[in-house]
Structure 1
């Protein structure tokens, strides 16, 4: 099993950041790579579209509003992995005025090396968090 984590400091309170990203259906609000999201099963499954026209289906596994994180799995995606589990977590930064957002995932590569799968998801998380930062500084 492979794993990667990336994080970014956001110049906003954890409450403000969580308000934007805490909804399981909120990816199109801050992640340009995902232009649309539709939920089903009472909001526990999201069907995402990417610019290539691929569909990604993800299931909400854990949601903790108080601690500001959720964990999700991939049910269907064009990625070369199985057993994918990812968490996005908004924490208060040590300065008490900004947030530290951490995005991590674990997965089993299929047909690619661990390093290739790690590079893929590390890039997705890094680009996603940079897009999130832009939502607060633009």
Structure 2
């Protein structure tokens, strides 16, 4: 199953990528994330590092950085543990320039495996509750 959200942000792609690229920086712009910590005090740009996120409701998720590609302005990560009923989850957030306007196109999506009965609800949670909410928060953060 794939969950997906995208938006156009009124900021240059370099500025958008700077915010996205910080694997430990979600609390600065995602309203549903109250805290983030790179385990073992590691480097947030090191592929393989694990971040521990505290969600707004107090739940925790641990996510491993799988790929960080500066040329494609793309960050991919996977769940190590999460409060969501999924067997696998790999997620990518990517920023691209809108050359006609100087704005940025940002897409955020995940491929995940879950029980068929849970897929529709998880899709709504990820696409709307996580990605769309986060993209709106990123746009607000960068406009301020």
Give TM-score, length-normalised by structure 2.
Answer: 0.88
The answer to whether the Cα contact below 8 Å between 2:11 and 2:143 also exists between their aligned partners in 1 is: no
The answer to whether the Cα contact below 8 Å between 1:13 and 1:99 also exists between their aligned partners in 2 is: yes
**Root-mean-square deviation (CA), in Å?**
1.5
Paired residue for 1:108?
113
Q: What SS class does the counterpart of residue 24 from structure 1 fall into?
A: coil
Q: What SS class does the counterpart of residue 87 from structure 2 fall into?
A: strand
Q: 1:22-37 residue pairs with structure 2 within 5 A?
A: 22-37=21-36
The CA distance in 1 between the partners of 2:67 and 2:89, in whole Å, is 14
Shift in Å, 1:94: 4.2
The CA distance in 1 between the partners of 2:37 and 2:116, in whole Å, is 30
Paired residue for 1:66?
71
| 1:77-131, Cα deviation, whole Å (9 max, x unpaired) | 1112121000000101142501001001011124743222211111121111111
The answer to whether the Cα contact below 8 Å between 1:37 and 1:48 also exists between their aligned partners in 2 is: yes
The CA distance in 1 between the partners of 2:83 and 2:116, in whole Å, is 13
Question: Unpaired runs of 5+ in structure 2?
Answer: none
Residue of 74, 84, 93 corresponding to 1:88: 93
Question: Unpaired runs of 5+ in structure 1?
Answer: none
Residue of 118, 124, 127 corresponding to 2:123: 118
**Bigger Cα displacement from structure 2, 89-98 vs 48-57:** 89-98
Paired residue for 1:6?
5
The CA distance in 1 between the partners of 2:20 and 2:9, in whole Å, is 12
